[in-house]
């Protein structure tokens, strides 16, 4: 790396936003944007106290001559030190327990991830015109070297973007000392040429199309309307974002120790100032009263559905705000895909195909790596069977079925 310098920084605040964002493309927005990652940190959502210690890797090309200054940023990736796995959405706790029982170290681990976001989006960001694969390898090798030097248990890449996954998969096949691939079932809706919501529904079987129309009609007859509000409109409504923060808290409180309550009120309240675009709220109203909301992250090519909360449980309102209304919104705006989040097998019957999205793992203890590799075929088979079973429940007519597609 004679022509490059690698640095590890402890916060997004130490990184120039323009330098970072110059590396990202449409597929990386907004999950890898400087504003989003920084807000996670400054809001206290992602910090050492919550189990996430930022350790972002940056690669610069050294200045050709003369002392002082820093070279141009040509590659970067968000990484975090982790002492547990809560919020990874890759449930490796059984491997961690087996390692502990064997007297081996699984934690602390170095994780490349978009924090608390199980969406296939993480990648090594590289400057346009640079050799992306080569620079990506330099960053990943730097992560491995840093983990070894610090005595960490391993390096783990969670929910990588498809191109990043392909590069890691190539390395995983290189030999017994490299990455172990772990596939995970995930959901994704893709626009297969539907012009609008009625056209999408027309691809459903008669019974499921009738069920969706019945659910939406019942909400209308109950005096409930729904809308997706973008950042400016959401911020202009007094108390709306604060109300969503409260709904997020109260909804998660229902699940006790299994709650996915990772974001602080300051995260939501900080959105209007930190991010003028890249998010929206899917809102259900009875008159002027807000009944329920879901949070959306919005990129040019993909919509992400996250977090639902309701003041009143109304049949069908969750499906409307988390699935139907966002799909309709994506079709209206020309957004080609919608990731509705993990879990909930009823997503299949509402048109969300299942696919396999991988993570990649490199325990630095060769025995732990061998253990993980030994169990992975069985795990992969179970995940593939789940994908197949869920896709049998898709509502599409046989001639219109989109299949699982790719991430």
Q: Does a cis peptide bond (omega within 30 degrees of 0) precede residue 90?
A: no
222 and 320 part of one domain:
yes
Q: Which of 112, 50, 103, 102 is nearest to 79 (CA)?
A: 112
- Do residue 118 and residue 249 come from a single domain? no
- The verdict on 207 and 108 lying in the same domain is no
149 plus 244 within the same structural domain: no
User: What pLDDT, on a 0 to 100 scale, did the predictor assign at position 68?
Assistant: 47
Residues 179 and 215 in one domain: no
In a domain, residue 397? The reply is no
**Are 158 and 9 in a shared domain?**
yes
Using CA atoms, how far apart are residues 100 and 307, in angstroms rounded to an integer? 34
Measured distance CA(243)–CA(237) in Å, rounded: 11
404 belongs to a structural domain: no
Together in a domain, 26 and 79: yes
Q: What pLDDT shows up at residue 258?
A: 73
Please check whether residues 173 and 110 belong to one and the same domain: yes
Please tell me whether residues 315 and 368 are part of one structural domain: no
User: What is the pLDDT tens value at each position of the chain, 407 positions in all?
Assistant: 558 899 999 999 999 999 999 999 999 999 999 999 999 999 999 999 999 999 999 999 975 444 445 689 999 999 999 999 999 999 999 999 999 999 999 999 999 999 999 999 999 999 999 999 999 999 999 999 999 999 999 999 999 999 999 999 988 776 666 899 999 999 999 999 999 999 999 999 999 999 999 999 999 999 999 999 999 999 999 999 999 999 999 998 887 777 789 999 999 999 999 999 999 999 999 999 999 999 999 999 999 999 999 999 999 999 999 999 999 999 999 999 999 999 889 999 999 999 999 999 999 999 999 999 999 999 999 999 999 999 999 999 976 556 555 67
Q: 302-310 and 289-298: which strand pairing? A: antiparallel
Residue 147 lies in a domain: yes
Residue 174: the pLDDT is 64
- Which of 335, 365, 382 is a domain's end point? 335
Tell whether 405 is covered by a domain: no
| Structural domain for 57, as ranges | 4-186+356-390
Do the domain assignments include residue 47? yes
| Joined tokens for residue 276 | 């003028």
Q: What is the pLDDT of residue 398?
A: 77
- Is 102 part of a structural domain of the chain? yes
Residue 117 and residue 44 share a domain:
yes
> Residue 352, Cα to own-chain centre: how many angstroms?
16
* Pair 376, 359: CB distance under 8 Å: no
* Beta strands at 109-112 and 79-82: parallel, antiparallel or unpaired: antiparallel
Same-domain check for residues 280 and 367: no
- β-strand pairing of 154-157 with 109-112: parallel
CATH number at residue 223: 3.40.630.30
64 assigned to some structural domain: yes
Q: Identify the pLDDT of residue 67.
A: 46
DSSP secondary structure letters along 146-169 = HHHHHT-SEEEE-SB-HHHHHHHH
| Chain centroid offset of residue 39 CA | 15
Q: Is residue 345, in this structure, part of any structural domain at all? A: no
User: What's the total number of domains in the chain?
Assistant: 2
What residues form DSSP beta bridges with 4? 61
pTM assigned to the model: 0.95
**Dihedral angle of Cα 307, 311, 316, 319, to the nearest 10 degrees:** -10
Reading the block at residue 32, the tokens are 């890898």
Are 317 and 215 in contact by the 8 Å Cβ rule? The answer is: no
Considering the domain architecture, whether residues 297 and 252 belong to the same structural domain is answered as yes
- 143, HSE (Cβ side, Cα atoms, 13 Å): 31
């Amino acid at each position: 790396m004679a022509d490059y310098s690698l640095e590890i920084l402890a916060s997004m605040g130490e990184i120039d936003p323009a330098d970072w964002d110059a590396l990202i493309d449409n597929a990386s927005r907004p999950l890898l944007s400087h504003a989003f990652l920084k807000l996670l940190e400054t809001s206290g959502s992602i910090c050492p106290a919550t189990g996430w210690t930022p350790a972002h890797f940056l690669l610069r090309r050294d200045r050709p001559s003369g002392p002082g200054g820093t070279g141009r940023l040509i590659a970067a990736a968000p990484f975090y030190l982790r002492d547990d796995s809560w919020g990874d959405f890759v449930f490796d706790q059984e491997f961690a327990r087996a390692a502990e029982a064997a007297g081996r170290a699984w934690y602390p681990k170095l994780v490349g991830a978009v924090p608390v976001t199980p969406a296939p989006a993480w990648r090594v960001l590289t400057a346009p015109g640079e050799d992306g694969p080569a620079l990506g390898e330099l960053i990943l090798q730097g992560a491995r070297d840093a983990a070894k030097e610090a005595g960490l248990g391993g390096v783990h890449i969670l929910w990588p973007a498809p191109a990043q996954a392909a590069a890691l998969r190539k390395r995983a096949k290189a030999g017994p000392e490299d990455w172990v691939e772990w596939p995970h079932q995930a959901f994704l809706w893709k626009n297969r040429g539907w012009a609008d919501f009625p056209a999408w529904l027309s691809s459903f079987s008669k019974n499921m199309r009738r069920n969706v129309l019945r659910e939406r009609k019942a909400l209308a007859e109950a005096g409930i309307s729904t809308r997706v509000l973008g950042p400016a409109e959401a911020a202009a409504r007094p108390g709306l974002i604060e109300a969503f923060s409260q709904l997020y808290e109260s909804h998660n409180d229902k699940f006790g120790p299994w709650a996915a309550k990772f974001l602080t009120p300051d995260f939501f309240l900080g959105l209007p100032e930190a991010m003028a675009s890249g998010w929206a709220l899917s809102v259900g109203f009875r008159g002027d009263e807000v009944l329920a909301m879901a949070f959306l992250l919005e990129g040019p090519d993909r919509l992400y559905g996250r977090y639902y909360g309701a003041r009143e449980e109304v049949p069908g309102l969750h499906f409307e705000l988390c699935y139907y209304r966002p799909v309709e919104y994506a079709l209206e705006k020309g957004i080609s895909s919608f990731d509705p989040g993990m879990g909930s097998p009823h997503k299949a019957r509402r048109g969300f195909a299942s696919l396999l999205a991988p993570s990649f793992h490199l325990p630095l203890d060769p025995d732990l790596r061998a253990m993980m590799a030994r169990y992975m075929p069985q795990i992969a088979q179970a995940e593939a069977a789940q994908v197949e079973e869920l896709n049998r429940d898709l509502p599409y007519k046989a001639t219109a079925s989109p299949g699982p597609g790719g991430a």
